Amino acid sequence: MDFYAVLWRELVVLKRGFWKFFASRLVNPLLYLIAFGWGIGRSVQMPQGSYLEFVIPGIVALSAMTTSFGAAGTPLNMARLYHKTLEEYLIAPVSTFSFVLGRVLAATLRGLIAALIILGLALLFKTKLAVGGAFLLVLFLTCFLFSALGVVAAMTINSHEDMANFTTFIIMPMSFLCGTFFSTAKLPPGVRQLIEILPLTHTNLALRELGAHGSFPWLSLGVLIFYSVLFFFLACYTVRHCRD
């Protein structure tokens, strides 16, 4: 239960700044929905349904990814390099596992809230989307794995500028290439295989399949679990080895 002490701090901070967080998570997806749903989407023909229905699961995945990565990465990077508040945890009798778990769960929660905000917006845009237990499980895994990746980045990147660069070079390309706004099926071979290794692609595939009452996306679920375990393990490793 040690992780709860770590999580408790994050919950206190989330509660204090909740409405600011809420509003900030509303802006980007709302712009995407307007631009790609109402704007470009009107003139795009999809095999089934409207483009808006196609793009909403993508924007949910995108927001879950960026929010949880940022929520885990940025504050931890600051805590390690600038505020030195990480030391307070390092000198406490709390295991690395508990520390990472507390941080990752807190960022996962933020990611889930961001995703739910868009699902709420989607209702306003009158889309048909089936949100069930498996849909939420996929979202949880997505948030969890990108939170853990955020911890890895925060522990290994040694400046705030390079943290921003990580987002520019890794997170941003993923958000556009992993089937968020268009189907990866139309990509040239080679590029397609590369894209299909990435976790966000599988979030998009799984959410679309589940949202349209399709078959259960076992493969995608397996990939997401694999990345969750891998990144969590890496996060623990980087925290354990951060003492110089």
Binding residues vs other proteins (CB under 8 A): 2, 4-6, 8-9, 12-13, 16, 83-85, 87-94, 243-244
In angstroms, what CA-CA distances link 54 with 25, 176, 231? 21, 14, 29
User: Of the two residues 159 and 165, which places its CB atom closer to other proteins in the complex?
Assistant: 159
Q: Which residues contact 4 (CB under 8 A, 6 or more apart)?
A: 102
Smallest distance, other proteins to C-beta of residue 88, A: 6
Smallest distance, other proteins to C-beta of residue 70, A: 16
User: Of the two residues 8 and 216, which places its CB atom closer to other proteins in the complex?
Assistant: 8
Smallest distance, other proteins to C-beta of residue 117, A: 22
Smallest distance, other proteins to C-beta of residue 78, A: 10
Smallest distance, other proteins to C-beta of residue 156, A: 18
Distance CA 238, CA 244 (A): 12
User: Of the two residues 4 and 176, which places its CB atom closer to other proteins in the complex?
Assistant: 4
User: Of the two residues 78 and 170, which places its CB atom closer to other proteins in the complex?
Assistant: 78
Q: Which amino acid is at 211?
A: G
Distance CA 100, CA 206 (A): 27
Tokens of 201: 């692609």
DSSP string, 215-236: ---HHHHHHHHHHHHHHHHHHH
Among left, alpha and beta (phi > 0; psi -120 to 50; other), residue 232 is: alpha
User: Of the two residues 15 and 126, which places its CB atom closer to other proteins in the complex?
Assistant: 15
Smallest distance, other proteins to C-beta of residue 4, A: 8
User: Looking at the chain, how many residues does it have?
Assistant: 244
Using DSSP, state whether 121 is helix, strand or coil.
helix
Residue 81 CB neighbours (<10 A): 15
User: Of the two residues 89 and 166, which places its CB atom closer to other proteins in the complex?
Assistant: 89
